[in-house]
Amino acid sequence: MMYTEYGKTGKHVSKVGFGGMRFDTDRDNEENAELVRYARHKGITYFDTAPGYCNDQSEDIFGLAFKDMPGDYWVSTKGMPTEYDTADKARAAVEKSLSRLGVEKIDFYHVWCLRKMEHYHLAMQSGGQYEGLLKCREEGLIDHITFSSHQPGHQIRSILEDGSMDGVLLGMNILNFPYRWAGVKAAWETGCGTVAMNPLAGGMIPQNEDKLGFLSTREGETPTEAALRFAISCPYLDIALVGFTTKEQVDQACAVAEQCTSFSDQDLQQIQSHLSSNMNEICTACGYCEGCPQNIPVPAYMQFYNSKQMFGTSDDKMKESLPGAKEWGLLAYRQAEAGDCIECGMCEEKCTQNINIIDRLKEIAQWEKESD
């Protein structure tokens, strides 16, 4: 395992972090906790979770694992400024996370899911979340205040230049790096910690290996391994946060981290020549947009649309694949159709990838109509 310092915090962290949003919730918590302990045994020392992840089980799973997990490790969790909009609410959220995680201190506490500057200003307002977190830090309940962001590079830079945060968690991977590079470099240049989420594009890379062969620049390397190597070896990133479900995935990421060399500029140019700007707007299956008042399974529909977005699959082919997706695929458990959208905008407001969900649903509704 490779290790590095998280920004200027003096904390040495593993280059691979354990992202706790992809546990298999059909397993019991003890089985998932064993996966966490296994990752620690393999050398991973950074563990990231949040309330709500995995049907709100993720923090409890880590809490179970931490009870008897040997060795040093760092714990990261989060709270949204839109939910905890006062100092008191922020403190209550920290106390709840501490209790669920079973730890005395949270090493990295993220102001969670900033999608626009208003969210940052909300966190920073007098009597708001940040004030509550500062108090928690003074009392030793948290060590570093950080943030997670889905904003453009210049906004990330302006937050970091305020000096209020010790690090940032942001989305970058081998498919979207030409569009996210500025934000990552901005973070790195300020000397703050930088952590990449979604190094496998929310599972899209392993699921589409047959079409992504161009990512592999080494003999025998799979596209998934190439994507992991990209994030782990990126000089501007301290940690690549990988969402693990199985021990095999932990093994794969740790093996990549054992023999990791950076991509050359030539390799990156070569990869970039295959990418279109469409790769910047793919659904990562994060699920933040859930809760449609019409019960439309927005994440499932947007993952279905990914095929068109990522590879330019024709409308005819998309239409052809729709019945299969509805019968046994991504859309099998839907309670409503794309055409039931009333355009309330709630899902777009929450989408971490700024996807024009309503427009995509309209296209899919048209395919639904024509394939009926």
Give me 364's structure tokens.
Answer: 């899919």
Residue 294 and residue 338 in contact, taking contact as beta carbons nearer than 8 Å = no
Tokens linked to 22: 């992809």
Give the integer Cα–Cα distance in Å for 229 and 199: 9
Indicate whether 342 belongs to the interface with ligand SF4 (CB under 6 A): yes
Count of residues touching ligand SF4 (by CB under 6 A): 29
Tokens 């709270």 correspond to 79
- Joined together, the tokens standing for residue 342 give 């009333």
Instruction: Considering the complex, state which of residue 30 and residue 343 has its C-beta at the smaller distance from ligand SF4.
Output: 343
Q: Does 357 bind ligand SF4 (CB under 6 A)?
A: yes
How near is the Cβ of 88 to ligand SF4 at its closest, in Å? 29
- Do 283 and 360 touch, CB atoms closer than 8 A? no
- Judged by beta carbon, residue 21 or residue 257, the one nearer ligand SF4 is 21
- CB-wise, 45 or 352, nearer to ligand SF4? 352
Contact indicator for 166, 144 with CB cutoff of 8 Å: yes
Nearer Cβ to ligand SF4 (5/343): 343
Pairwise CA distance, residues 352 & 277, whole Å = 17
Contact 50, 23 (CB under 8 A): no
CA nearest neighbour of 17 among 50, 44, 38: 44
Are 4 and 257 a contacting pair, CB within 8 Å? no
Question: Which of 191, 213, 312, 345: binder of ligand SF4 (CB under 6 A)?
Answer: 345
Q: Are strands 16-19 and 167-171 parallel, antiparallel or unpaired?
A: unpaired
Stretch that binds ligand SF4, among 16-24, 173-181, 313-321, 349-357 (CB under 6 A): 349-357
Contact residue for ligand SF4 among 149, 173, 249, 352 (CB under 6 A): 352
Q: For the window 91-130, what string marks contact with ligand SF4 as x by the rule CB under 6 A?
A: ----------------------------------------
256/286 with CB nearer ligand SF4: 286
* Angle, alpha carbons 147-153-159 (nearest 5°): 40
Q: If you ran DSSP here, which 8-state letter would residue 15 be given?
A: S
Q: What is the total residue count of the chain?
A: 372
Segment near ligand SF4 (CB under 6 A); pick from 56-64, 176-184, 213-221, 339-347? 339-347
Instruction: Tell whether residue 204 is a contact of ligand SF4 (CB under 6 A).
Output: no
The CA-atom distances, in angstroms, between 168 and each of 112, 256, 360 are: 10, 24, 30
Q: Distance (Å, rounded) from C-alpha 5 to C-alpha 9?
A: 7
Q: Is 106 helix (H, G, I), strand (E, B) or coil?
A: strand
Is residue 347 near ligand SF4 by the rule CB under 6 A?
yes
Residue 38: CB minimum distance to ligand SF4, A: 28
166 CB-side CA count, 13 A? 19
* Minimum gap (Å) between residue 283 Cβ and ligand SF4: 3
| 197 binds ligand SF4 per the rule CB under 6 A | no
Name the residue nearer to ligand SF4 (CB basis): 34 or 340. Answer: 340
Give least dist CB 297 to ligand SF4, A: 9
CB of 337 to ligand SF4, least distance (A): 11
Tell me the C-alpha distance between 367 and 315, whole Å.
8
Q: Closest distance between ligand SF4 and the C-beta of residue 217, in Å? A: 27
For residues 274 to 303, the per-residue mask of contacts with ligand SF4, x marking binding by CB under 6 A and - elsewhere, is ---------xxxxxxx--xxx-x-xx--x-
- Pick between residue 290 and residue 370 the one whose CB is nearest to ligand SF4: 290
Contacts with ligand SF4 by CB under 6 A lie at 283-289, 292-294, 296, 298-299, 302, 341-347, 350-353, 355, 357-358, 361
